């Protein structure tokens, strides 16, 4: 057999093995699955890993019809940098985005969670996972 055919067969077999869940784990597959650690309560449940757009993010609460349309909350503002890092008025830290959820894992915003509403918009989640009224919007790239 020619080398390229052997290579194609090898790549096909590897791709098939990778795409079929639970295949090739052997007799102990149930034991291995049962012994895997579960996600902590503060970590996002699942989804693709991602990053937020770099730049300055400002947060605000909704206003009322008799006054301002929104009320800025400067203490909640942050700046997203490289390597999943952020800076806030209280200090710096790291965040993790999985799917449509962001959790701050280190620093002053540790354990704060947000739902991704769009490319430039986040909504803060309460401890029980319900949506709060705080909305954060990317206002510039920070350069």
pLDDT tens string 56-92: 999 999 998 888 899 999 999 999 999 999 999 999 9
How far apart CA 87 and CA 41 sit, in angstroms, is 24
Is residue 52 pLDDT above 90, yes or no?
yes
* Residue 81: predicted pLDDT: 95
The answer to whether residue 44 sits within a structural domain is no
76 and 29 inside one domain: no
Q: Is 82 exposed, middle or buried (0-12, 13-18, 19+ CB in 10 A)?
A: exposed
35, pLDDT greater than 90: no
pLDDT for 27 equals 46
Spell out the alpha helix ranges (H) of the chain. 3-19, 29-34
- Virtual CA dihedral for 35, 36, 42, 43, nearest 10 degrees? -170
21 and 91 part of one domain: no
User: Do 53 and 122 fall into the same domain?
Assistant: yes
DSSP 76: G
55 falls within a domain: yes
53 and 27 within one domain: no
Q: How many domains does the chain have?
A: 2
Shared domain check, 114 and 84: yes
Residues 20 and 82 in one domain: no
Give tens-digit pLDDT for 88-141: 999 999 999 999 999 999 999 999 999 999 999 999 999 999 999 999 999 987
Instruction: Quick: pLDDT tens for 14-27.
Output: 666 666 665 444 44
Are residues 130 and 69 both part of a single domain? yes
Is residue 30 located within the same domain as residue 68?
Answer: no
Range of the domain at 24: 3-34
* pLDDT given at position 46: 73
Who wins on pLDDT, 80 or 34? Answer: 80
Prediction pTM value? 0.67
């Amino acid at each position: 057999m020619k080398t390229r055919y052997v290579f194609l067969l090898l790549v096909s077999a590897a791709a098939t093995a990778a795409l079929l869940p639970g295949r090739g784990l052997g007799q102990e597959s149930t034991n291995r699955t049962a012994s895997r650690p579960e996600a902590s309560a503060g970590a996002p449940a699942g989804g693709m890993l991602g990053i937020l757009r770099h730049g300055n993010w400002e947060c605000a609460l909704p206003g009322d019809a008799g006054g301002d349309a929104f009320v800025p909350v400067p203490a909640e503002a942050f700046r997203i940098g490289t390597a999943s890092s952020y800076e806030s008025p209280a200090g710096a830290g790291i965040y993790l985005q999985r799917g449509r959820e962001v959790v701050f894992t280190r620093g002053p915003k540790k354990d704060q969670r947000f739902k991704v509403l769009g490319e430039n918009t986040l909504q803060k989640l309460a401890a029980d996972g319900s949506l709060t009224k705080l909305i954060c919007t990317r206002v510039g790239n920070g350069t």
